[in-house]
Amino acid sequence: VEVFDGPDLLGAREITVTQGYAAGVLPIAHFGLGSVGSVTVQITPPGEDPIELADVAANQHIRWPDGCE
């Protein structure tokens, strides 16, 4: 998952659901945006083309691929 403010990369996180033997972590990427009001989020699933979500407002939760409830 990568987050952009225009052409500037603000942050990137790789999401994995395991970290060692018999351990697991939540598949979450959290980004602090400071004063940035909206960003472009790029999600690259394994073996697939990137998916771009434009004009994503700050201070919200995004659930992909099924959206937020």
Q: What angle do CA 3, 64, 45 make, to 5 degrees?
A: 70
**Eight-state DSSP code of residue 16:** -
Q: Is 19 exposed, middle or buried (0-12, 13-18, 19+ CB in 10 A)?
A: exposed
Q: What residue ranges of the chain have pLDDT lower than 70?
A: 19, 67-69
pTM of structure: 0.81
